[in-house]
Amino acid sequence: MTTTPATTTGAPTPHGTARHTGIESARPKRSIEELRALALEGAELDDTNAEGVARWAAQAFPGTLAVACSMAEGVLPHLISQHAPGVDVLFLETGYHFADTHGTRARVADELDVTVVDVLPELTVAEQDAKYGPRLFERDPARCCAMRKMEPLARTLAGYEAWVTGVRRDEAPTRTNTPLVTFDEKHGLVKVNPLVTWSLDDVTAYAHEHSVPVNLLMYDGYPSIGCEPCTQRVAPGDDPRSGRWAGLSKTECGIHT
C-alpha cells in the first residue's frame, strides 16, 4: 500500500536512495514497566493461535507496532495487517539483497495494507568498502551484520513499543526455545513471535490461501533468504538455515540472539 523511507524529516525519498537516520514514534512510548507488564500478559496467550496473537498485539500497541520482514514472503505483514491496517513493515535494506527479494518487497508494499519502511545503514556499500575494504562480509561478517543490520534495526526500534517477527522454533537449534511474547531487553520493547509453532509448510500454506507474495527463491532451494553474498541454495531435506553464512561458524546475524 505505502512505502516510507524512515528519515528524521519524514520527507519522501525514492526507494534505495534514502539514508535512514531514525524514525519518529507515532506517539510517546509507555514506560518500561508498562511494557514489561504487557509482555507478561502476551506470554499467557495460546502459542498455537497466531491469529489471536496478532489481534492482541494490534490492540495492545495501536500505532506503536512494527513488523520485521526479510521479504522471503509477506505472510507476517499480511497476518498483522488484518488487525493493524497500514502497520509499519521494517525491511533491513543492507544493499546486498537478491533482485527477487526487492521484487517481493515491491509486491508487499503494493498488494498489502502495510507501510514498508526501508531501514538503512549509516554507510552505503560504497562508503563501507572505502572505509573497511571491499567484501567485508567475507573477512568479518559479524562486523558487516552489525553495521548493516543490527545498528540500523536498534536505531529504528527505538521509535516503537513492540515489534513482531516471523521467528519459528523449527528453523534452527538456536531458535527452539523462542518465546511467544517477551520483553526484548536488548532493544527495550516488547517482542512478539506469532509464528513460533508454525512450520515452513504452514507459512507456504497461509501464503497460498491468502494470495500473499512469496519470494521466488523460496521455490528454488532457498528456504531461508538473507543477503545474496551470504546465502546459498540448500539441498532438499537439509537444515533450512544451512545456506546462511555456509562454511562459517556464524549462524545468526545477531538480531534474534
Catalytic annotation, residues: 253
Interface map 74-103 toward ligand SF4 (x if CB under 6 A):
--------------------x-x-------
Sheet holding 2-5, edge to edge: 2-5, 114-119, 87-92, 65-68, 162-164, 189-192, 181-184
**Is the Cα torsion angle 200, 51, 1, 167 positive or negative in sign?**
negative
Member of 119, 145, 195, 218 binding ligand SF4 (CB under 6 A) = 145
Rounded to whole angstroms, the Cα distance separating 19 from 32 reads 29
Task: Select from 79, 172, 227, 234 the one that contacts ligand SF4 (CB under 6 A).
Answer: 227
DSSP 3-state of 257: coil
180, 193 contact by CB (below 8 A): yes
* 248 and 141 Cβ atoms separated by less than 8 Å: yes
Cell 509464528 belongs to 195
Query: Whose Cβ is closer to ligand SF4: residue 13's or residue 231's?
Result: 231
Q: Contact between 229 and ligand SF4 (CB under 6 A)?
A: yes
Q: Residue 205 or residue 246: which is nearer to ligand SF4 going by CB?
A: 246
Least separation in angstroms between residue 97's CB and ligand SF4 is 9
Task: Pick the closer one to ligand SF4 by CB: 91 or 183.
Answer: 91
Q: Is 230 in the site for ligand SF4 (CB under 6 A)?
A: yes
Instruction: Give CA separation, 82 vs 53, 79, 116, 132, 150, in Å.
Output: 12, 6, 15, 43, 28
Binding-residue total with ligand SF4 (CB under 6 A): 13
Give me the least distance between CB of 70 and ligand SF4, in Å please: 11
Residues 19-78 within binding reach of ligand SF4 (CB under 6 A): none
Region of 14-22, 138-146, 206-214, 235-243 interacting with ligand SF4 (CB under 6 A): 138-146
